[in-house]
A and B are shown apart, each in its own frame.
Chain A
Amino acid sequence: DAGITQSPRHKVTETGTPVTLRCHQTENHRYMYWYRQDPGHGLRLIHYSYGVKDTDKGEVSDGYSVSRSKTEDFLLTLESATSSQTSVYFCAISDGGTGYTFGSGTRLTVV
């Protein structure tokens, strides 16, 4: 496929619980990103990584943390899920030269 997979594809969780989403790539790209997509807001950057253990915040990083211990994996953690974090989460990868390749997305519902 596109060399990038996200898991899980769907998740329902309760308010206050921690949640971890996984992004895995087989392209050996340096850059990885987490975006959330909400109606009327488009795609907003949560966190991104420019190498193993090198990460930085995006515009909507509050309540989220990330880790990248291997080139191929980028994890997004919601430390204590809230209803406002109900969204579709997309991971993306880039070699820095052109646009992104997106994963298939994770639909997260916080009840």
Chain B
Amino acid sequence: GENVEQHPSTLSVQEGDSAVIKCTYSDSASNYFPWYKQELGKRPQLIIDIRSNVGEKKDQRIAVTLNKTAKHFSLHITETQPEDSAVYFCAARSPGFQKLVFGTGTRLLVSP
């Protein structure tokens, strides 16, 4: 089945810097890749997603890129703010399977 690896496990940046989180997946047929943000003690919430027919997607300060050949996708956060501090999860879904496989998460800490 699908396997998703996520790096780094922790990431510390200064406010205003950019942050990049990377994920790789194993099933070349996977076609949907969401990203979730989980604040301390809260539920994971979808922040951005990308489908396999698109190479990049942006939403204000966040963007996701997908490289199907290399089977990896990345989350980019620009101009980080302290409220971006959270755990971020990537996930992948194979066609025909209505279930997401998650990475192990990245704890992002943005220092003022």
Contact = CB atoms under 8 A, between A and B. Distances in A.
B45 A102 contact: yes
Interface of A: 2, 31, 33, 35, 40-45, 48, 50, 58-59, 90, 94, 96, 98-105
B89 A42 contact: yes
Interface of B: 1, 6, 32, 34, 36, 42-46, 49, 89, 91, 98-105
A100 B46 contact: yes
A43 B98 contact: no
B44 A94 contact: no
Given A90-B43, A105-B43, A100 B102 contact: no
Given A41-B104, A42-B105, A102 B43 contact: yes
Given A99-B49, A103-B43, 12 more contacts: A2-B43, A33-B99, A42-B104, A44-B102, A45-B100, A45-B101, A50-B98, A59-B1, A96-B98, A99-B32, A102-B45, A105-B43
Contacts of B105: 42
- The 5 A-B pairs with the shortest beta carbon distances in the complex, nearest first, are A99-B34, A42-B104, A102-B43, A43-B102, A99-B46
B86 to A, nearest CB: 14
Contacts of A40: 104
A96 B99 CA distance: 9
